[in-house]
Amino acid sequence: MREQRNAYKGSPQRPWVRISLIAADGASKKLELLADTGNPCAIIVGVETMQQFNLGITPSMNTNFGVLEGGWLRFQIPELGLDQDVLGYVHGNALKHLNLSPGRSEAVHRCRRGQSVAT
């Protein structure tokens, strides 16, 4: 069975996952992302990351944090054999509410509808 083992991080300690985002021009960026199984979005990233890696515009989503702007992101998790496009969102206010450790500006979420990057 393929797996990616990561010790919990932060305070309080929470699970996280390592992924790579791939841009249309082939550029890549490795990220360590917070896993949040209670959020309906597959992935939420910072504004700069979305601008660099967005493969296509999608509808926005209204949430209790405000409007999340959507885009398609290609992500890879080599340890799990994953390489696929997911519907991602960006919103600065949502990231502020995640209580992330210093230096963390990204978050990854597992969708309730089965779009999961942190299984």
Per-residue pLDDT tens digits for 5-51:
888 888 888 888 889 999 999 999 999 888 777 777 888 888 889 99
- Per-residue pLDDT for 80 more than 60? yes
Arithmetic mean of pLDDT, 49-71: 87
3-class secondary structure, 6:
coil
pLDDT in the model for residue 109: 44
Is 44:89 a contact under the CB 8 Å cutoff?
A: yes
CATH for the 16-109 domain, from 2.40.70, 1.10.3210, 2.60.40, 3.30.70: 2.40.70
3-class secondary structure, 37:
coil
- At residue 118, φ and ψ (nearest 5 deg) are -125, 80
Q: Which amino acid is at 82?
A: L
* pTM, rounded to two decimals: 0.73
Q: Which amino acid is at 81?
A: G
Domain ranges of the chain: 16-109
